[in-house]
């Protein structure tokens, strides 16, 4: 199909042309004296994205799943108890990994569409007088349902219970797109992947470990080899890796970090908030509902949209893909067929998101969902324009009309 493909799955995300070009490099000697000029600044710059000065960043040639495994295997011992909330496919897979590694997981089952409930965590930790629970696991942004949880509140809950458990946070679909405060929230293991907010292909599993997590790694009994923090710490100190690094990915990472810092992180977060607002305005205009049950759970990186009864969300995704060159995210596991997802993270702007909304609208109409063509696009346009006007301090059409006609309301 002519023209660009519209990639709106919540990862992998679009890789900016600048990053693609930066990755087009000849292979080189990763043991040369020059190599650390590339790598040492990467560790420092990644810490800015994690908002950490105290932490140690690890870059593994893996996906986010590998970063999960690195986090557990370096800090815990077989049979250790951890507390985890399950409310979507990724929190489920993370729990599954913990169990398969031999950890004793106490699972808090939450309704899909909601997220971590800090008050429940506090209650359980308060009751755990013997401090048997070694870790609390929280998925910051559940990509399957489009739910963001309040990690600052989880930290407060742990503190209120005066409990020493480590805090493990999955930030795979938030770090680099949403405000993630590793030091302020005292996150002990923050987990990221390269293919979402960092705008790279999949291939790097990135972990930011706190001094407490590093301390725990000295006595942790789970076996690890490939993911051993200690091997990494020794080699990374001088800018090297214990095995062959994924060279083009590191060049790409240098460029993507540059792009994020040029835009400025706070602006990146605001942009994601505005783009998400446009998608949510469209969903409302379609008369549909997000899977996230309340605004407090709404994610600024992905929206899962519930399709009407009798409609299969997979058909919407297929029509969008085949007819309009648009990739939407599938419903996973419990919500398979019940939702489709729009990923709105990474290298995106207003008009790209309007394209995705327009395509989703056509695909929904194609499969028999009663949506008015243009309704979602119009609502998102209004949302984006209101934001632009507010930034430039120009009155919107509605405000200008209201000034002249204080008695009336502008009909759209």
- Report d(CA 178, CA 344) in Å as an integer: 12
Q: Is 301 in the site for ligand PLP (CB under 6 A)?
A: no
CA dist list (Å): 269 to 199, 204, 210, 257? 14, 22, 24, 14
Residue nearest to ligand PLP (CB): 64
- Report d(CA 82, CA 166) in Å as an integer: 9
Residue bearing tokens 């600048």: 18
Q: Is 63 in the site for ligand PLP (CB under 6 A)?
A: yes
Among 19, 101, 137, 172, indicate the residue that binds ligand PLP (CB under 6 A).
Answer: 172
Q: Is 293 in the site for ligand PLP (CB under 6 A)?
A: no
Q: Nearer to ligand PLP by C-beta: 19 or 371?
A: 19
Q: Are 216 and 75 in contact (CB under 8 A)?
A: yes
Q: Is 343 in the site for ligand PLP (CB under 6 A)?
A: no
- Report d(CA 27, CA 115) in Å as an integer: 44
Name the minimum Å distance from CB 256 to ligand PLP: 16
Q: Tell me, by CB under 6 A, how many residues bind ligand PLP.
A: 12
CA diameter of the chain: 74
CA dist list (Å): 172 to 115, 195, 341? 16, 9, 17
Name the minimum Å distance from CB 244 to ligand PLP: 20
Name the minimum Å distance from CB 64 to ligand PLP: 3
Q: How far apart are the first and last CA of the chain?
A: 35
Among 73, 173, 217, 236, indicate the residue that binds ligand PLP (CB under 6 A).
Answer: 173
Q: Nearer to ligand PLP by C-beta: 63 or 398?
A: 63
Among 65, 99, 293, 325, indicate the residue that binds ligand PLP (CB under 6 A).
Answer: 65
Q: Which stretch binds ligand PLP (CB under 6 A): 119-127, 168-176, 353-361, 389-397?
A: 168-176
Q: Which stretch binds ligand PLP (CB under 6 A): 60-68, 233-241, 393-401, 402-410?
A: 60-68
Q: How many helices (H) and strands (E) does the chain have?
A: 14, 14
Q: Are 357 and 279 in contact (CB under 8 A)?
A: yes
Q: Nearer to ligand PLP by C-beta: 88 or 358?
A: 88
Q: Are 52 and 75 in contact (CB under 8 A)?
A: no
Q: Name residues contacting ligand PLP, limited to 113-142 (CB under 6 A).
A: 139
Q: Nearer to ligand PLP by C-beta: 344 or 383?
A: 344
Q: Is 64 in the site for ligand PLP (CB under 6 A)?
A: yes
Q: Name residues contacting ligand PLP, limited to 82-111 (CB under 6 A).
A: 90
- E strands, 201-338, are 205-209, 289-290, 302-306, 326-330
Query: Among residues 220, 162, 213, which one has the least CA distance to residue 188?
Result: 213
Name the minimum Å distance from CB 302 to ligand PLP: 8
- Report d(CA 253, CA 236) in Å as an integer: 16
Q: Which stretch binds ligand PLP (CB under 6 A): 46-54, 153-161, 170-178, 286-294?
A: 170-178
Q: Name residues contacting ligand PLP, limited to 1-40 (CB under 6 A).
A: 11
Q: Which stretch binds ligand PLP (CB under 6 A): 57-65, 111-119, 222-230, 271-279?
A: 57-65
- Report d(CA 295, CA 75) in Å as an integer: 35
DSSP string, 149-177: --HHHHHHHHHHTT---EEEEE-TTTBTT
Q: Nearer to ligand PLP by C-beta: 285 or 302?
A: 302
Q: Name residues contacting ligand PLP, limited to 192-211 (CB under 6 A).
A: 193, 202
Q: Which stretch binds ligand PLP (CB under 6 A): 47-55, 58-66, 265-273, 276-284?
A: 58-66
- Report d(CA 405, CA 398) in Å as an integer: 10
Q: Is 52 in the site for ligand PLP (CB under 6 A)?
A: no
Question: Which residues are near ligand PLP by CB under 6 A?
Answer: 11, 63-65, 90, 139, 143, 170, 172-173, 193, 202
């Amino acid at each position: 199909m002519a023209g660009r493909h519209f990639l709106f799955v919540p990862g992998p995300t679009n890789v900016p042309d600048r990053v693609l070009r930066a990755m087009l490099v000849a292979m080189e000697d990763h043991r040369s004296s020059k190599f650390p000029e590339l790598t040492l600044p990467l560790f420092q710059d990644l810490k800015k994205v994690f908002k950490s000065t105290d932490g140690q960043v690890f870059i593994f040639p893996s996906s986010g799943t590998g970063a999960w495994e690195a986090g557990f295997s370096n800090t815990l011992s077989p049979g250790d108890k951890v507390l985890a909330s399950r409310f979507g496919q990724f929190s489920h897979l993370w729990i599954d990994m913990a169990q398969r590694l031999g950890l004793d997981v106490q699972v808090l089952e939450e309704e899909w569409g909601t997220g971590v409930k800090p008050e429940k965590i506090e209650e359980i930790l308060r009751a755990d007088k013997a401090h048997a629970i070694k870790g609390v696991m929280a998925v910051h942004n559940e990509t399957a349902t489009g739910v963001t949880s309040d990690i600052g509140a989880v930290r407060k809950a742990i503190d209120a219970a005066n409990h020493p458990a480590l805090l493990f946070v999955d930030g795979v679909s938030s770090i680099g797109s949403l405000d993630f405060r590793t030091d302020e929230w005292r996150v002990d293991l923050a987990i990221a992947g390269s293919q979402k907010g960092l705008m790279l292909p999949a291939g790097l599993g990135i972990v930011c470990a706190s001094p407490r997590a590093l301390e725990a790694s000295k006595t942790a009994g789970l076996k690890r080899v490939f993911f051993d923090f200690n091997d990494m710490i020794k080699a990374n100190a001088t800018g090297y890796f214990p095995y062959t690094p994924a060279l083009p990915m590191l060049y790409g990472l240098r460029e993507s970090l540059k792009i994020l810092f040029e835009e400025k992180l706070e602006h990146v977060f605001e942009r994601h908030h505005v783009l998400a607002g446009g998608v949510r305005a469209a969903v409302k205009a379609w008369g549909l509902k997000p899977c996230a049950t309340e605004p407090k759970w709404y994610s600024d990186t992905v929206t899962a949209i519930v399709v009407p009864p009798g409609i299969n969300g997979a058909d919407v995704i297929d029509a969008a893909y085949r007819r309009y060159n648009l990739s939407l995210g599938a419903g996973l596991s419990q919500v398979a067929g019940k939702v489709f997802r729009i990923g709105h993270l990474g290298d995106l702007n207003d008009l790209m998101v309007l394209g995705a909304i327009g395509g989703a609208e056509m695909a929904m109409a194609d499969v028999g969902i009663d949506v008015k063509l243009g309704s979602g696009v119009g609502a998102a346009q209004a949302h984006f324009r209101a934001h632009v006007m507010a930034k430039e301090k120009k009155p919107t059409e509605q405000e200008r009309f209201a000034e002249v006609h204080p008695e009336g309301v502008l009909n759209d």
